[in-house]
Structures are given as C-alpha cells and as structure tokens.
Structure 1
Amino acid sequence: MYKHILVPVAFDEAHDPGEAVAVARRLVADDGQVSLLHVMAHVPSYVINYVPEGFQAEAQTAIVASLEAMGADLPNVKGVVEEGHAGKTIVKWGALNAVDCIVIASHRPGVQDIVLGSTAAQVVRHAKCAVHVTR
C-alpha cells in the first residue's frame, strides 16, 4: 500500500480519470493520502490582456472543488491545481510532495504521440516513484 498517491486529472474527452481514481482507492494505505492534480497551461502573454481580471483564480477554485468532489470517497483527498507543462509539472510536483505512486490515465496513442510523446509516457520515463498507467 502507498502512503501518498498522485492522480493527474485532465478535463477532456480523451481521458477518463474514473479508472485511475478507482485504482488509487485500491492502492492507498488506510492512513494514506490521495492528491488529485490538474495542470493548467500557461496563458500566453499576448492573450492575458483579454482574460477578465480574477478569471484564473476563479477557474482554479472551481477546478479544486471539482477534483475534491471527484475524490470524495478517497482518504485524505486533496485537490491541487498547478500551472505549466503537464508532464514536467506532474513529475516535479510528485518529487516535491513525497509521492510514492502516480496513477495516471492514458489514451490510445495517435500519430501526435509518436512524434511528441504522451503525458503518461513522459511521466513513466521521468518519475522517481512507482507509476501505474490505466487505459
């Protein structure tokens, strides 16, 4: 059993976090913690002037609430929003927060993934802890 599990969550049609959350539920120790992490892309500087003031903070608050609702039946669940590149941010956050297992959902690879690599593949290659990939 793991003490601190990280479940990255992408809010798009290609990824269903349900299976990853279910796996985390089975793998976490009774006194363990599960962190649900969503990584927001940086807003380019040429766009920032068109984003209403306070929008980013409101969006982060709403996402944290959605994450914590998604994991309501998990022990010591915590919703987290970070800004950055998804793969790098997941690996870095895991290393900085004593995560001993990452449970990440993956999709069927497409041509883009062959050229650029998927987020799950990047996490598998660079994480310093156990990684479980669900499909």
Structure 2
Amino acid sequence: MYTNILVPIALDDEDDRAAKAIATAKGLASDGARITLLHVVDAVPSYAISYIPDDILAATRKGIDAEMTRLAAGIGAISEVIDGHSGRSILDYAKEHGNDLIVIASHRPGMQTLLLGSTATHVVRHAECAVHVLR
C-alpha cells in the first residue's frame, strides 16, 4: 500500500467528492501512513481583485483554513492550504513532499474535457507518482 498520500480537496464540491476521496485514501494507506489534505486557492484575477474588500478575502481564507483543519482532524491527517494554479500546485506539492500517491476526485466534465476534469487530467498526465482518480 501507500505511505505518503496527497488528497487534493475542492471545497466547492456538490457531490461530497471530498469525503469519497478521503475514504479512498484511508483504504489505500498502509499502517502509519501520512495523509495530507491539500486545498489550492486560485489567484483572483487582477481585473477583479480591486472590487473585493480585503476583509472578505481574509475571512474567506480563514474559513478555508478552518474547514481543512476540521476535515483533517477527523481522520488524523495533515491539512495544507496553498496559493497557486490547482493542477501545477498539486504536482509541485507532491514532488516536494515525496508523496507516493495522489487521490483526486474528478468533477463532471463537459465536452472539452470528455472523461476527466481539467485539474485531474493535468495531474494524471504529469504526476511522478501513482494517481487514483475518483469519478
């Protein structure tokens, strides 16, 4: 089984994909495995940032941190919240932290992505470790 598992979490999911990904990671983990829940905060486009009050951005980040901490505490995992482009940031994090498995949920794709969501597709194509995709 796997000893260092990364589970990217999209907090905007409607189908409880995060819970399914966490359960899958726990099932694939060996005894004593490290599970990290990762949320990537995409940058607000420069044309929109001036319209968003700073206190809203800070409150949103605080809420994300709190929810990730809650999810991780429920399974004895580690939570991380980072800024960046989701696909690239997931791959960079996995490489930097020596993850041997990424468990990622894929959203319901449109015609442009056909089988997988764009983030999941990017992770599958470029990961240097095993990737388990949930549909």
> Which TM-score tier does this pair reach, normalised by the shorter chain?
0.7 to 0.9
Counterpart of 1:74? 75
**Distance change (3 Å), C-alpha of 1:79 and 1:118:** same
Once superposed, which parts of structure 1, at least 4 consecutive aligned residues long, lie more than 3 Å away? 54-58
Normalised to the residue count of structure 1, the TM-score between the two structures is 0.84
Report how many residues are paired: 133
Counterpart of 2:22? 21
What whole-Å deviation, never above 9, does each CA across 1:44-82 have from its counterpart, x for those lacking one? Answer: 22222222224434322321221222233323x122112
Structure 1 range deviating more: 1-10 or 64-73: 64-73
Gaps of 5+ in 2: none
> What is the root-mean-square deviation in Å for CA atoms of aligned residues?
2.1
Counterpart of 1:46? 47
1:15 shift after superposition: 6.5
Counterpart of 2:99? 99
Give the secondary-structure state (helix, strand or coil) at the position aligned to 1:74: coil
Normalised to the residue count of structure 2, the TM-score between the two structures is 0.84
Gaps of 5+ in 1: none
